[in-house]
Structure 1
Amino acid sequence: MAFDSLTDKLQNVFRKLRSKGTITEADVKEAMKEVKRALLEADVNFKVVKQFINSVSERAVGEEVLKGLNPGQMVIKIVKEEMDKLMGSETTELKLLPSNEITIVMMCGLQGAGKTTTVAKLAGKFKNKGKKPLLVACDVYRPAAIKQLEINGEKVGVPVFSMGDGHKPVNIAKAAIEHAAKNDINLVFLDTAGRLHVDEDMMNELAEIKENLNVTYTILTVDAMTGQDAVNVATSFNDKIGIDGVILTKLDGDTRGGAALSIKAVTGKPILYAGMGEKLTDLEQFYPDRMASRILGMGDVESLIEKAQSAIDEEKAKEMEEKFKKASFDFNDFLDQMEQMEKMGGMNDILKMLPGFGNKKQLQNLEIDDNAMNMPKAIILSMTKQERSHPEIINPSRKKRIADGAGVPISEVNKLIKQFEQSRKMMKQMSGMMGGKRRGGFKLPFGF
């Protein structure tokens, strides 16, 4: 995640605080000096850092903290609360107009910020909530922009309205709204043109759309990898055309990530979503408290549970539980478990959300390779339906055919079958252990 380096540095500060039985004002001052340095190196806005350190220090040197039973933990709690506030405290959601009105969302941003991909992700998100969105291609300048939107629209199952080159974006937007009204569509996303930098032509074009249409939300897409520049871009757009919120893209990248900690404080506008990957499902609602927990290395179990709920079929989960109890788990079930894990982003993505596994160093120490699932998957897919359902029929000649089909040595097939058989023997014991790990009527895969 973008905050790996910052997380490491903050955890070092917290480790020192926790190790002290008593804390003095000088200890707090020294800790805040290190926190300040870490935030500035993460490209957090200087004024924001100054205000943040002042707020934490003011609360942390109070008598009830310094003389409390666990002063180090209390200081960390204050840092977490102030970080929540910095990013907006409360989650901001897009509230749609009543179903008889058209909600118009105008997406804007610079070229390269991932706007066209993000607008498709957002439309897909609302489609999955039962809405009927429409994507509108208003970028008539960038080569292949319309085609890119059409491809992404098809992937998320959302129709795209376009009129091609030679039409003014404002006229395309007007025609799209008429089309939406005739086709009972009440949620329209306008994908407007970006430029390499903020310029007058782009702003005039966006202003013209806002003057001629009742735009409900103007959302800016900014690239988290540009750090402080992302904050400057957000400020410019907000000053010139007015924005209602921001979507931060590439927050999963190896960046300093300061934009997430600065945008709300500098512009007053909330971060609505965070782009956490290249897949069209990798767009997360932005929860300030959860993001603060991730940055501070405290994990994000709530988001992990939500990921599991969206990835796991509840009927399948119940069926799987019965199979565990009867020890009738087969290779089809094994394949299902791997596919559920992939839907959730793989083991590394899951571990990042657990307390104590917030950064790359810790994950590297575990040496978990998500590609390690590819070989067992290939082996299982090389089996016949009968072999998957009845592993006991797999004899040496079948093993050879399976190995050839998967392109692996026969020893790998033997290894997988041996592991599978050992797992099967443990099924009844595991079903007892996993019985207490239910939450909201479903189970996380692999016993989480």
Structure 2
Amino acid sequence: MTRLIKAKEFILWSLFALVIGFLAGILATCFGQILLWVGEIRSNYIFVLLPFLPLIGLVIVWLYQRYGGRASQGMSLVFKVGQGEKEEIPRRLIPLVIVTTWFTHLFGGSAGREGVAVQLGATLSYQLGKRFFSLQEQRRLIVIGMAAGFAGLFQTPLAATLFAMEVLVVGSLALSAMWPALIAAFVASQTAHFLGLEKFSHALMDAPVWTSDLFGTLLILGFLFGLCGNAFAWCLSQTKALLNQYFPNPYRRVLILGTVLSVLLLVGQGRYAGLGTNLIAASFSGQAIASYDWIFKLLLTVLTLAVGYQGGEVTPLFAIGSSLGVVLAPFFGLPLEFVAALGYASVFAAATSTFLGPILIGCEVFGFEHFPAFFLVCSLAFLLNRANSIYSGQKIRE
């Protein structure tokens, strides 16, 4: 009888994961395709649209003040529900975060997109799952949804699964969610791919031969990339705290600092607006990367998100890590693309306090033959300091 019950549960969770993966893949594709279209419009009319960034900031704040409610907590709410501290993710979170992220990108804000995908996947999984499963299964539901949303957008199902399993509580894997999360991630990834959402991947052709010197160099790089990721997370939390203190009125905050942000982005001629995929593409195509690109992208992304604009942090982290890698590579005599790829994954590891997901995203994007290098660099970046994370709701297992 016990085996029969377990078999029924296994089948039920598998079917649920299939549905969530399919729906999350569709939603991620719709969101992602429109975001790419929005980015093209911004790039073509950057000097026309950027001056309106503070005004659209007022619209974003009004939408959240008027309709947000608990949904205004965004990723923090997803974490609280996944950790069992809250019992509800409102459905309106999905349209709110999608529309306001489109607004942010259209008018030049420096932000990412994974936060939207993770939130929509988690909300979708929670809202559908609460009809069939008990509240004790909240963490599993959230992990499945996060994996599906992440995989649908980036089409890296293995990384998405491990990232979702480890991100809620640092040092604790949600192993009970592994199988359904894996199903949901693969289905979401394949659905998005079938519907035409682009995936970034790049084969590294000139990776160095392993030697003892290379081992030591990778340790140093892991340390440097770890510092960068932790700097991003620390700056984000500190900037949010300072702005809340000195600009408690969200409308005044977004109007004044949105104007400052608009001017800074205009001075940079829009190079640091949007996702940062231009910097990623430049890092892996031999185009010019300035020594200051990574720090400008870091600071402007921190300011964009701290002021109150919507989006995510992960794609900017990829851009920061890859452009920093291009800058560091000549000092160590290593191929530019190889170090850029290590930065792409390990800065993400340090800023999110995750370990397995970043290693696998490096492998899924750049090739599994480079697993030892990603493992070593991401390990050190992750271990450097787990106290700082871009996710304020993240817990650390003692």
Identify, as 1 or 2, the structure richer in helix. 2
**TM-score if structure 2 supplies the norm length?**
0.30
Which of structures 1 and 2 has the larger relative contact order (alpha carbons within 8 angstroms, sep 6+)?
A: 2
